[in-house]
Amino acid sequence: MSTIPLDYQTLRILWWALLGILLIGFAVMGGRDLGVGTLLPFVAKTDEERRVLINLVGPTWEGNQVWLILGGGAIFAAWPQLYAVSFSGFYIAMIAILLALIIRPVGFKFRGKVSDPRWRATWDTALFIGGFLPALIFGVAVGNVFLGAPFQLDVTQRITYSGNFFGLLTPFALLCGLVSLSMIVTQGAAVIAGRTDGEIAERARKYGRWSALATIVLFVIGGLLVLYVLEGYRLIGPPRTIAPSNPLGKEVVREVGAWGGNYGAMPWTMALPILALFGSIVAWWALGARARLVALLGSSLAIFGIIATAGLSLFPFLLPSSIDPQSSLTVWDASSSQLTLFVMLCAAIVFLPIIILYTSWVFRVMRGPVTTASLNKNPNAY
């Protein structure tokens, strides 16, 4: 008899939920930095204004990456086959994201080392790329999860991936990328409008309102395509929720509207897409009304709703296979062992609250407006 106090099914669901929480945490916290970087060339017109935006996120961006690291670590340890397929099949896309994230801290550190305008303009471009590219590609990746990845498993569960980078850039995947980009830009605009003043804040409000509207329109279009145009995936028969992980042996069918099955079975889940739209509307209104905190809360709520909607639509699939649906990876057959999930859960219970506490403390210390005057008083400013 097992001495583990939680059954395998419960642990699998908990880690599916925790993975979603980590991804949402990165989108909300890291989205602040990515959004500000994307808006840098549009909101800041002078060198002093660009310094304001850089110092807005410069002191906190490193801590926000913890959510991304935890998300990647959770995939590696809790869902090893998902890690193997996604991090190898989407290799070039992952490298592009990694390079974009690498040049961002270099831009923070190197930009102010030389006063030459061309030098600073070069690093401003790098900071823009470091915000724009990850925000877009993360959404493209989610779009490809809905479409399914071109991989299959043989009888020994060895993975064969037959896709390429350009095959990821389908119209629907790019639409999902634009949803991701627009929600991140709204988050960045809310941060800028909330902690700066003058022309910078006004420009941020203008771009933020446009991006909030774009999020609403693109999210609705994407939802309609998922429900009425795209072929989704559906399990046939009861899932093996407590059996050892083995993606082979199940029956999966593809049919239009399959991704909407969870909403039909559990009508309360419709609250998630409604929450996404409501959050975007609140952010749009609050930016116009100069309600700073409400704008940030609305934008964060929209991010939560959008990512949670995607996750619930896909459940129990983690990554479907477009060329061999029976090889698709699900929550029930692609996880680590019961003991591994339990030990990881114990670690998460200890360390996740610590991360939340120190993140809250850092933002409390760094609170307050960032202006040209405040930068001139700070010798450590970028």
pLDDT in tens, 233-283: 999 988 888 888 899 989 999 999 999 999 888 888 899 999 999 999 999
Structure tokens at 84: 């193997």
Given this model, what pLDDT does residue 152 score?
92
**Binning pLDDT at 50, 70 and 90, where does residue 147 land?**
very high
Long-range pairs, 97-104, Cβ under 8 A, ≥24: 97/133, 97/134, 97/137, 97/138, 100/129, 100/130, 100/132, 100/133, 100/134, 101/65, 101/130, 101/134, 103/127, 103/129, 103/130, 104/33, 104/37, 104/61, 104/130, 104/131
Mean pLDDT (whole number) for 51-56: 90
pLDDT in tens, 173-227: 999 999 999 999 999 999 999 999 889 999 999 999 999 999 999 999 999 999 9
CA 149, CA 217: separation in Å to the nearest integer? 26
Residue 1: pLDDT over 50: no
Given this model, what pLDDT does residue 365 score?
84
Q: What is the DSSP letter of 19?
A: H
Give per-residue burial for 271-285: e unless 16+ CB within 10 Å, then b. Answer: ebbebbbbbbbbbbe
Mean pLDDT (whole number) for 314-327: 94
CA 166, CA 334: separation in Å to the nearest integer? 27
pLDDT in tens, 86-99: 888 888 989 999 99
Pairing state between β 317-319 and 329-330: antiparallel
Query: How far is Cα of residue 172 from the mean position of the Cα atoms in its chain?
Result: 17
Mean pLDDT (whole number) for 108-133: 90
CA 288, CA 205: separation in Å to the nearest integer? 7
Instruction: Report domain extents, the chain.
Output: 8-236+244-365
Amino acid letter at 356? I
SS3 state of residue 33: helix
**Binning pLDDT at 50, 70 and 90, where does residue 2 land?**
low
Given this model, what pLDDT does residue 165 score?
83
**Binning pLDDT at 50, 70 and 90, where does residue 164 land?**
confident
